[in-house]
Amino acid sequence: MNENITITEDYSLPSKGQIYAKLIDPEVCLRSMTTAEEMKRLSITDKPYKQLSEIIEDCLTKKLDIPVYDLCVEDYQYLLHKLRVVTYGPDYNVSIVCPVCGEIFDYSINLDELEVLEYKPELKEKFKLDLPKTGHSIELKLQTPRDLDWIENRKKEMKKQFPEMQGDPTIVLSIVSILKSVDGEELNSFMAEEFVKKLPMKDVNIIINRMKDIQSQLGIKSEVYCECTNCHNKIKTPFRFTSEFFRPETN
């Protein structure tokens, strides 16, 4: 009996391996998930992105030059989508609410047909910018799955350390996670937090909008276009992860 009945597919990372400290081979081969990976996915963890990164890593037939946990989120999400495709197929069923008539209808997204934007050399220049109010020259970087876990766990730490703290620190931590250097100097997380807290909101807004611009030009486009089955209104809706993504009810 063949005990290794798996499907494999070849893919190429949207970044082309060119946004990292050193060039990495963007060509990957994924195999379908097994019960062992599904057991790991369902286990309780305070680092869900690490857990999924390790599952993707296990399903790569050839290891990347860096851990999946340290890939940019755009490459990570691409691999996550393709792991689902190679395991269960591209059809992903979701429920959508029409913003015009309120109708709730089922729609099947073909994950292989979602637009994927690949890295272009001109994107590199967008990572550097001068802040208009403070005059600091900063360099940005793309978030990684490691960053996303760090943000959530750092928020918990801060609330425990400072129970009287008011407000949500997400905006500060999110900017810290994409801040590579300030005036040519790389800051540790503590120094970066203090720097970001003191920034005027005009500078913060510039950083946020620049990163949105960069993210909009790389990876899987997170918008789904469909038509309401009731009023036939054309709908654009954000892509959502549901239980159907990893445990589809039909195949």
Number of helical (H) and strand (E) elements in the chain, helices listed first:
7, 11
* Angstrom distance (rounded) from CA 57 to CA 246: 17
On whether the CB atoms of residues 235 and 225 are closer than 8 A, the answer is: yes
56 phi and psi angles, rounded to 5 deg: -60, -45
Token pair of 235 as six digits: 């709908």
What confidence score (pLDDT) does residue 219 get? Answer: 97
* Angstrom distance (rounded) from CA 52 to CA 198: 35
What pTM does this model have? 0.92
What confidence score (pLDDT) does residue 251 get? Answer: 54
3-state helix, strand, coil in the chain (%, to 5): 40, 20, 40
Q: Which pLDDT tens digits describe the chain residue by residue (251 residues)?
A: 455 567 899 999 999 999 999 999 999 999 999 999 999 999 999 999 999 999 999 999 988 999 999 999 999 999 999 999 999 999 999 999 999 999 999 999 999 999 999 999 999 999 999 999 999 999 999 999 999 999 999 999 998 888 887 888 999 999 999 999 999 999 999 999 999 999 999 999 999 999 999 999 999 998 889 999 999 999 999 999 988 998 887 65
* Angstrom distance (rounded) from CA 129 to CA 179: 11
What confidence score (pLDDT) does residue 1 get? Answer: 43
On whether the CB atoms of residues 94 and 107 are closer than 8 A, the answer is: yes
Coil vs helix vs strand at 15: coil
Q: Please measure the distance between the N-terminal and C-terminal CA atoms of the chain and give it in whole angstroms.
A: 24
* Angstrom distance (rounded) from CA 92 to CA 110: 6
What confidence score (pLDDT) does residue 161 get? Answer: 87
* Angstrom distance (rounded) from CA 56 to CA 47: 15
